[in-house]
Structures are given as C-alpha cells and as structure tokens.
Chains A and B, each alone.
Chain A
Amino acid sequence: MRVLLVDDFATMRKIIKNVLKQINIESVVEAENGRQALSILKAEKIDLIISDWIMPEMTGIEFLKACKADETVKHIPFIMVTAEAQKDSVVEAIKCGVDNYIVKPFTPEKLKDAIEKAQAKVRR
C-alpha cells in the first residue's frame, strides 16, 4: 500500500510515518500542503491519503473537497488527522466526504482500524 501523507509539520509527518511503520506500511510519499499533494496525486499511484487539517496554502478541508471533486482521485480512501476533536469539526469533515477521521494522539491500533474503516467505506 502506498500512502500519501500530508502535513505541514515535518515532525508530525515523521511521527505518523513511525506509527505507519508499526503497522507494516512503509511506502509513504510526503507533502507539506494540499496543493503539493494534488500534484503528487496526478503523478503517482496512491492507495490511501492521510491529511492534516490545518495547513498553509491549502487546508485539509480544501484538499479533501478537491479530492472528492476529482473523478480520478475520489475513490482513494481519505483519512483526516487532526487535533480538533469537537463535534462541529467532525460534522464538517463528514459533510465534505471524508472517509474516516482520527484525532491526535492515536495508537498504531487506532490508525490501523481507521484505515480499514476508510477502505471499507469507499468499497461500499
């Protein structure tokens, strides 16, 4: 599985990569923001998108909307990773078509479960 990991903080990308490694996912492409991530999606085959919410240039929600509006990309499971755990944030992400949502901090097991649920959702 090839994962596109989008986060403006290099440290957070490293942390999430470590967590992915613990669940045997080692093929990870990194992007600093939604705009850069969209370019990668045009050029590479990606099986899963994990994106932060708050980022400069293009936020996670804007990136999510762009992905779900693109016929060639919308089938890729999209997981939003954020520190925002409030109900209205969750509702906003769901309305925009997110396939799953995970709140920081999380364990490898929780991320694995979120990936499986996101994959099941796009298969339906």
Chain B
Amino acid sequence: MNLEDDMDVRYINPFLIATQHVFRTMLGLEPVMAKPMLKQERIASGEVTGVMGLSGDKRGAVAVSFTKKGALFLYNTLMGDSANDIGPEVIDAIGELTNIISGQARKELERQGLNLKAAIPLVVTGKELETSFITKLPIISLPFYFSVGNGEREVMYVDFSFE
C-alpha cells in the first residue's frame, strides 16, 4: 500500500513543519523525520501519548506519542528539572506539547484550505494502548528522531488520520 492511495500527502508537511518548529523553539532540538508509515491498528505508537480530537472541515485525531525515556528527557529539558518518573507534571507537559504541535499543524493546514478545530488534549500512558478514538484507518504515522545526549537518540511519533 502506498501513502498516496490513502491520504493526500499534502497533510504530512504541516505536521512535519509544526513538530520541527515546536521542538526548535521550545526545546532547542532538531528532530529528524524518518519515512512515514501507514498503521492499520489503533494502537498508540509509544508509551506516553497525547491525543487531540479534530473537527471542522474534516473529523479526525492527532496523537503525539513518546517513549517513557523520550518523554522524561523532553520534560526535563523544557523545565530544567530532573524527573525520573512519569508524574502529573510530565503528563501536563506532554499534553501541552501535543496541544502546541496540533495548533501549529492546524495553522499550516489552514493555509491549504483545511480548517480544523481541536478539543482539549488527553494524555494516556502505557504500552500498546488502544486508541479507539481514531476512527479512520489507516493512520499516518510520522516517526521523528531526536538527540538525548551522549550520542543517543529517541523516537517519537506524530500519528493522525482524517475522515
């Protein structure tokens, strides 16, 4: 299956621009996007996942999903903290990052004539959680890699689908 058959690839760029802009401005990081994937399962890609429902010209959802290590690194970078577990403050920060990435992506999508409104972000934690709120399959999954120091990288995913 290829991406062009299932969804206009024009929708990928807004999420790429938004993610890179948010990481650069808020975290001083340069995430690199790997090859987009199509997901046929409604399963969260990572372990800490921010989700926002979208409505307007289209109905859909965006999920921003991190590994536990990645989420902690981002939280600690953002807040100058040294948290080592996923507590309420880390969840708050991931919700806010999801909200901001979604807002920037919707701004880019508006330039392409697609007006979307977002709901309040929800953050879920755990591996292989079902994301039943994403109604349309396949889901486009954009993997981003970012440096966490000591030559190591972590992955995060920006997953979205519109009906």
Contacts and interface: CB of A to CB of B under 8 A. Distances in A.
Contacts, number: 54
Given A85-B107, A86-B106, A103-B103, A11 B96 contact: yes
B22 interface: yes
A11 B100 contact: no
The interface size bin for chain B is 20 to 34
B2 interface: no
A117 to B, nearest CB: 19
B106 A85 contact: yes
Please report whether the interface of chain B is mostly helix, strand, loop or mixed according to DSSP: helix
Contact of A14 (B26, B79, B95): B79
Given A86-B110, A87-B110, A11 B22 contact: no
A10 B81 CA distance: 14
B107 A9 contact: no
Given A86-B106, A87-B110, A105-B26, A12 B96 contact: yes
A105 B99 CA distance: 10
B103 A84 contact: yes
B102 A83 contact: yes
Interface in A1-29: 9-12, 14-15, 18
Contact of A11 (B89, B104, B110, B115): B89
A14 to B, nearest CB: 6
Contacts of B104: 83, 85, 103, 105
Interface string B35-67: 000000000000000000000000000000000
**A-B interface, 5 closest residue pairs, ranked by CB to CB distance from nearest:** A83-B103, A85-B107, A11-B92, A105-B25, A105-B26
